[in-house]
């Protein structure tokens, strides 16, 4: 087993410097700046990794297509030339609305070569969220399939005057000046391209946040973000030469871009892309067949696997698996322990968000895992807990105290603005500190523990109750498969804790089950914190990145409008 890149957290963190880490990147030739696509593709294509597999695409029928770093250099060069031939220039916004097919990946990196801005959309969005994002993001180019275009985009065209070109991945002929065949344009384009000078502060990626709180916001990231992708790839994902890596996230969510495209390529490993959606047997088979070394996934998937009666390491040969990581929502202690028992290693939780552009808090391979904790700040990142009100901001030194999770401004992948919303952007900072919108606490050894979203916190009889804490306790009941907790307004105690519970298959949804779960929660949490109401539900509303839409449950409970549901995953 290869030894971890980060063997001693404390010494790496104390001696860390972003400037020194920059030496792991090459920069554009002749000191022409820093470009993500050069770091991810071109420098490897002209070096030892030229013929190494950059991408292995697993098609729906499980057949594969491999692309070497050199193949990908040519494809991305062609795409950059396609954009140039259409008059697209620096800063213009290029959107994709695709499944996880090769076109999405070469469009992303080809756009970055052109120093245009790339914005990937989930292909399951309906017309409204697509329209909202294309128009708020000033899309000039959209890359999509014929089917998606006909079903969801064509009716919007009149309302999108800025959208100059729609490039269809699967048609042979142009329909009009505006609606073009991508294969034809690719064929006509040269495979030679020189990346123009790129300022590290040039915009590169636009990601709309998941919308769990209010309307989607477009967070803009710059080329310099690649330094965080490189460093987290090295220290958190622990990439080593020859590794096969699989990130299950879709690039429509920031994880699928930062860690499903950039970080693995910058670190020169082989990046698996599965075109299919979750399927437990398929996932296990891919881990086995592809000899995956590093697997980055999310709690929803893990919990689905936990619901099955399969002990993976008994049924599958997973001897190549070295590291399993999770992000996107709280990873309950139970899931970490389940990983240890059933895979022989824990799931390592890490924390970050669209705005941070890369992993900020993590459990590291060489650091003892505390199940239920998000871990410690990335070397180079300063995190803290603060008390924040409309007109005050105070850092909390006290340990084990709930407060706002804040980050000291200045890490390279920090978002640079919310598009068209500078005011909202500046409101996310207090002086040097970025307010993440999450509540957390820090223990005596510097581990961070997630408490909840700032706006999900429940105040009941004067007590602050984090839904995550209650959900974790409910999940420990053997009959419970999934749980979400909201605060329901109550005239007497402010809010009462209400739980929505999904039972394991075959369990009875009856009063005696409710009594049993309530007794279990009271025992675990005490009567002030345990749910006062339980409702059984077949599926929890979640975003496609796996976050429970508690505000949606709350709106439904209270008969209020449901608000923006564009990121809702359909069961």
Contact residues toward ligand AMP (CB under 6 A) are: 209-210, 254, 327-331, 349-351, 353-354, 374, 436-438, 450, 453, 545, 547
Q: Output the smallest distance, CB 261 to ligand AMP, in A.
A: 16
Q: Output the smallest distance, CB 248 to ligand AMP, in A.
A: 14
Q: Please tell me the distance from the alpha carbon of residue 52 to that of residue 337, in angstroms, as a whole number.
A: 36
Of 153 and 470, nearer to ligand AMP (C-beta) is 470
Q: Output the smallest distance, CB 302 to ligand AMP, in A.
A: 12
Q: Please tell me the distance from the alpha carbon of residue 324 to that of residue 519, in angstroms, as a whole number.
A: 34
User: In 10 A of CB 353, how many CB atoms?
Assistant: 20
Of 186 and 249, nearer to ligand AMP (C-beta) is 249
Of 260 and 268, nearer to ligand AMP (C-beta) is 260
Task: From 121, 200, 147, 213, select the one nearest 439 (Cα to Cα).
Answer: 213
Q: Output the smallest distance, CB 570 to ligand AMP, in A.
A: 18
Of 353 and 460, nearer to ligand AMP (C-beta) is 353
Of 107 and 451, nearer to ligand AMP (C-beta) is 451
Q: If DSSP states are collapsed to H, E and C, what string results for 403-437?
A: EEEEEECCCCCCCCEECCCHHHHHHCEECCEEEEE
Of 438 and 482, nearer to ligand AMP (C-beta) is 438
User: Is the Cβ–Cβ distance between 319 and 348 less than 8 Å?
Assistant: no
Q: Output the smallest distance, CB 455 to ligand AMP, in A.
A: 10
Of 125 and 351, nearer to ligand AMP (C-beta) is 351
N- to C-terminal Cα separation, the chain: 40
Task: From 414, 383, 406, select the one nearest 454 (Cα to Cα).
Answer: 406
Of 73 and 229, nearer to ligand AMP (C-beta) is 229
Q: What is the DSSP secondary-structure string of 495-520?
A: EEEEEEEEEPTT---SHHHHHHHHHH
User: Is the Cβ–Cβ distance between 189 and 85 less than 8 Å?
Assistant: yes
Of 328 and 377, nearer to ligand AMP (C-beta) is 328
Q: Output the smallest distance, CB 549 to ligand AMP, in A.
A: 12
Q: Output the smallest distance, CB 277 to ligand AMP, in A.
A: 18
Task: From 423, 497, 366, select the one nearest 7 (Cα to Cα).
Answer: 366
User: Is the Cβ–Cβ distance between 117 and 204 less than 8 Å?
Assistant: yes
Of 217 and 223, nearer to ligand AMP (C-beta) is 217
Q: Output the smallest distance, CB 334 to ligand AMP, in A.
A: 14
Q: Output the smallest distance, CB 219 to ligand AMP, in A.
A: 8
The helix-helix angle for 299-306 and 333-343 (nearest 10°) equals 60
Q: Please tell me the distance from the alpha carbon of residue 222 to that of residue 357, in angstroms, as a whole number.
A: 9
Q: What angle do CA 19, 22, 26 make, to 5 degrees?
A: 145
HSE of 288, CA atoms in CB hemisphere, 13 A: 13
Of 69 and 364, nearer to ligand AMP (C-beta) is 364
Q: What is the DSSP secondary-structure string of 458-482?
A: EEETTEEE-HHHHHHHHHTSTTEEE
Q: Give all strands (DSSP E) within 6-133, no chain letters.
A: 53-58, 64-68, 93-97, 117-121
Q: Which residues contact 186 (CB under 8 A, 6 or more apart)?
A: 75, 78, 79, 82
Q: Output the smallest distance, CB 141 to ligand AMP, in A.
A: 25
Q: Output the smallest distance, CB 476 to ligand AMP, in A.
A: 17
């Amino acid at each position: 087993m290869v030894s971890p890149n980060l063997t001693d957290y404390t010494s790496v963190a104390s001696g860390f410097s972003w400037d020194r880490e920059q030496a792991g990147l090459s920069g554009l030739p002749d000191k022409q700046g820093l470009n993500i696509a050069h770091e991810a593709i071109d420098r490897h294509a002209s070096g030892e990794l030229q013929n190494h597999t950059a991408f292995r695409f697993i098609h729906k029928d499980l057949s594969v297509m491999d692309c070497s770093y050199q193949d990908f250099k040519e494809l991305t060069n062609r795409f950059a030339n396609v954009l140039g031939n259409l008059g697209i220039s620096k800063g213009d916004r290029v959107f994709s609305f695709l499944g996880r097919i090769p076109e999405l990946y070469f469009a992303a990196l080809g756009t970055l070569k052109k120093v245009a801005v790339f914005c990937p959309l989930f292909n399951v969005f309906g017309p409204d969220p697509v329209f909202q994002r294309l128009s708020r993001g000033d899309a000039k180019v959209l890359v999509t399939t014929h089917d998606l275009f006909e079903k969801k985009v064509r009716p919007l065209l009149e309302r999108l005057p800025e959208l100059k070109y729609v490039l269809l991945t699967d048609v042979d002929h142009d329909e009009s000046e505006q609606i073009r065949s991508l294969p034809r344009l690719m064929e006509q384009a040269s495979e030679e391209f020189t990346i123009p000078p790129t300022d590290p502060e040039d915009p590169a990626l636009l990601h709309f946040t998941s919308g769990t709180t209010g309307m989607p916001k477009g967070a803009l990231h710059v080329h310099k973000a690649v330094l965080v992708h490189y460093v987290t790839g090295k220290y958190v994902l622990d990439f080593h030469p020859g590794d096969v890596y699989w990130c299950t996230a879709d690039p429509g969510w920031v994880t699928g871009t930062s860690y499903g495209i950039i970080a693995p390529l910058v670190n020169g490993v082989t990046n698996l892309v599965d075109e299919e959606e979750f399927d437990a047997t398929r996932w296990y088979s891919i881990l086995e067949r592809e000899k995956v070394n590093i697997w980055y996934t999310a709690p929803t998937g893990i919990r689905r696997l936990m619901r099955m009666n399969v002990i993976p390491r008994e049924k599958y040969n997973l001897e190549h698996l070295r590291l399993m990581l999770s992000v996107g929502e709280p990873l309950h202690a139970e899931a970490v322990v389940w990983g240890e028992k059933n895979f022989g290693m824990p799931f390592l939780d890490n924390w970050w968000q669209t705005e941070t552009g890369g992993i900020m808090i993590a459990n590291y391979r060489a650091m003892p895992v505390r199940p239920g904790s998000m871990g410690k700040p990335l070397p180079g990142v300063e995190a803290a807990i603060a008390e924040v009100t409309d007109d005050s901001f105070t850092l909390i030194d006290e340990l084990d105290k709930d407060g706002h999770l804040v980050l000291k401004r200045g890490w390279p992948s920090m978002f640079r603005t919310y598009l068209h919303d500078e005011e909202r952007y500046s409101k996310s900072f207090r002086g040097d500190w970025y307010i993440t919108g999450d509540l957390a606490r820090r223990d005596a050894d510097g581990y961070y523990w997630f408490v909840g979203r700032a706006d999900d916190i429940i105040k009941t009889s004067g007590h602050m109750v984090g839904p995550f804490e209650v959900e974790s306790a409910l999940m420990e009941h053997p009959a419970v498969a999934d749980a979400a907790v909201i605060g329901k307004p109550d005239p007497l105690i402010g809010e009462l804790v209400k739980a929505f519970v999904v039972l394991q298959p075959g369990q009875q949804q009856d009063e005696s089950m409710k009594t049993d779960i309530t007794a279990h929660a009271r025992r675990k949490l005490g009567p002030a914190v345990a749910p006062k109401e339980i409702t059984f539900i077949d599926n929890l509303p979640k975003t496609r990145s796996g976050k429970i839409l508690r505000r949606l449950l709350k709106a439904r409970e209270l008969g209020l409008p449901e608000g923006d549901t564009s990121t809702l995953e359909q069961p």
